[in-house]
Amino acid sequence: MSSIKLKDVTKRYGDGYEAVKHLDLDIEDGEFMILVGPSGCGKSTALRMVAGLEDISEGDLEIGGRRVNDKAPKDRDIAMVFQNYALYPHMTVRENMGFALKLAKVDEAEIKRKVDEAAKTLDLTEHLERKPANLSGGQRQRVAMGRAIVREPAAFLMDEPLSNLDAKLRVQMRTEVSRIQQSLGVTTIYVTHDQTEAMTLGDRVAVMRAGVLQQVDTPRELYEHP
Q: Which of 122, 51, 55, 64 is nearest to 93 (CA)?
A: 122
Binding positions for ligand ADP, 76-95, rule CB under 6 A: none
CB of 119 vs ligand ADP, minimal distance in Å: 31
Nearer to ligand ADP, 111 or 208 (CB): 208
Of 1, 15, 103, 105, the residue at the interface with ligand ADP (CB under 6 A) is 15
The reply to whether 139 sits near ligand ADP by the rule CB under 6 A is no
Q: What is the 3-state secondary structure (H, E, C) of the chain?
A: CCCEEEEEEEEECCCCCEEEEEEEEEECCCCEEEEECCCCCCHHHHHHHHHCCCCCCEEEEEECCEECCCCCHHHCCEEEEECCCCCCCCCCHHHHHHHHHHHCCCCHHHHHHHHHHHHHHCCCHHHCCCCHHHCCHHHHHHHHHHHHHCCCCCEEEEECCCCCCCHHHHHHHHHHHHHHHHHHCCEEEEEECCHHHHHHHCCEEEEEECCEEEEEECHHHHHHCC
The reply to whether 210 sits near ligand ADP by the rule CB under 6 A is no
Nearer to ligand ADP, 43 or 142 (CB): 43
CB of 76 vs ligand ADP, minimal distance in Å: 19
Nearer to ligand ADP, 47 or 155 (CB): 47
The reply to whether 13 sits near ligand ADP by the rule CB under 6 A is yes
CB of 51 vs ligand ADP, minimal distance in Å: 12
Nearer to ligand ADP, 40 or 65 (CB): 40
Binding positions for ligand ADP, 29-48, rule CB under 6 A: 37, 39-45
CB of 191 vs ligand ADP, minimal distance in Å: 6
* Residues engaged in binding ligand ADP (CB under 6 A): 13, 15, 17, 19, 37, 39-45
